[in-house]
Structure 1
Amino acid sequence: MVSITLEHVTKRFDLSMDSDQAITAVNDVSLRIESGEMLAVLGPSGCGKSTLLRLIAGLEPPTSGRILYNRIPLQDIPIEQRGVGMVFQSGALMPHWEARQTVSFFYRLRHREQEVPARIQRISQITGIGLEKLLERRPRQLSGGEKQRVAVARALTRDLNLLLFDEPFSNLDAKLRTQARVELKRLLYEFPVTSFYVTHDQDEAVALSNRIGIMRNGKFEQIGTYQHLYHSPVNLFVAMFFGKPAMNRFDGVVRGGYWYGENFGGYRVRSDLDDNSPVTMCIRPQHFYLRHDGIPGVVDHVFPHLAERYQLVEVWLGGERWTMALPLEERIERGSTIYCDLNPEEALYFDSLTGLRIG
């Protein structure tokens, strides 16, 4: 295994051969992935996640900055000695090869075919997926989930220092995605390896990784454990982006150390902002509750979430839409009036001009 260090890494792509214009896909990124750690990266489409993965893999050279494997510059390590495995969204299997040939390719190159059966058997035992049953099939005979299982097995049946995932389960349905996530977690526990995981799925990132990075416009907004990102977002973007269901956002001002919105307020804010400074309050749907003398609102939509044992209720209140996660046991119907309140101790406040956390 290796540790990965990025020092002020930037990647620009020229828009045309004869143009001075360029797109900055990765912008001055510095980070360290510890040996054996999995770092998952989340962010909106086009934020630079996949480009960063390609830079770490050595598939793209950085425009500036350095990438180090165990403190050795990546470009100084011969390709065959890097020990990098990749799992792509499509599986990227050889169409004319049976799965057995795909999985054993690394060992066949090194004349170590005798090691393959034991490795495959161990992977099957850990995951319970019956990998042996897939080995005689070609890609066209495999389902989407089976292709990804073969792709993961191919990556793990070699001598790895670093394993890179580029949205590997995004083409699978919800049930298969959950199953694949569990299988991969078991495999990485048995075969620990430094990993970099690009995904749009927050559940995947939380389930699999040690830390999560939130990217926007080629930069990391914040890197930390999922608990840290959830409870202590550094800015408004991270607060609104991370967490399911998404936070409610209310614009208001500070007066006398208290926050006031358009229709409600009077909540203490720990800050030294001047009166009438614009401040945004965010609060998660889980921190609303019903109260007989609360604020009246008209129910617009109700979305039951059976697995999580709550219903997501959208309420119009004084021209603002509130989204609340309320117990399934509460009988709530569209068009009805409910009385609700929030727990101000759970609210987060952000400078509306800079987006930075305050208080």
Structure 2
Amino acid sequence: MASGPRIAIDAMGGDSGPPAMVAGAASAFERRSDLTFLLFGDQSAIRAELDGHAALAAACQIVHCDDVIAGTEKPSQAIRRAKTSSMGRAIAAVKAGEAQAAVSGGNTGALMAMAKLALRTMPGIDRPALAALLPTLGENDLVMLDLGANTECDVQNLVQFAVMGAAYARVVLDLDRPRVQLLNIGTEELKGTDELKEAAAILRRSTDVGMSFDGFIEADKISRGGADVVVTDGFSGNIALKSVEGTARFVTDLLRRAFTSSVRSKIGFLISRPATELLRHHLDPNNHNGAVFLGLNGLVVKSHGSANDKGVANAIRVAARMVREDLTRKISEDLASVSLPNSQAAQ
């Protein structure tokens, strides 16, 4: 029996369901054969996909679930079926210690609600945050949080997000002291809300935490490569994320239109194809797939609903790496080094 991480997978989640989820697990397993999986969902559909992956099948256990959470369901509706749905039972496996992390491509709101209810927040964390990797022009991707879990945040939330984001960046980006910045309307110390300015003051004093706090960053600098972790509230973070994604699609669509507008442009496309392929690879969301709910007593990774097998494999690798690096312990240790007013983290 392999001794590596055991990952619970909601095989019914995402736009493609079992085909993408099982193929993604197979791809991840090819790179790390110490992984094992619990696959939750329709047994016949999952087994049909496993028939093409004999090596993976030996490392999997199927847990049959008739119930599937639809992408259109409200979290309040979905949470009532946490005990019967493939998503809910995958999370329950983490809570019970049957798996070390859960991966789902399903309804984000439902996944967050179920995970928070089942796993609860870590000691010293008031609210969990949704973090993801974004491409940059620098040497590595950056971690951004919160991306929609909390529309309003106070000082403690922002500082806790910074600590969690830095710990996550040390794990997934292999950085000793990630550069952390708060998203703001300007870089000057006097700019922004009182919450942002107070959070910045606390982070500047927190020199014992494994991060380098570099003040504020404006939205147009997010992708330049000057920061490793960008911290904000979920309202602003979700808007910024959608803007980045929309801009990426705009650029690729504009290039496609330009390269097909005439015979000359088509010839130009053939000449510049290596560069455009590099651009396509850099902007492909499957290469950065795997958003994480940080701050829970258990690891849950959200795969993009439209992710293909490569994207699912990346989400699984993110989950497995967090398990191996014991991310939850790192966050707890860092929280103990931060002095927050009226915070449980200081106790």
TM-score (ref. length: structure 1) = 0.27
Between Structure 1 and Structure 2, the one with more helix by share is: 2
Q: Which one has a bigger Cα radius of gyration?
A: 1
Between Structure 1 and Structure 2, the one with more strand by share is: 1
TM-score (ref. length: structure 2) = 0.28
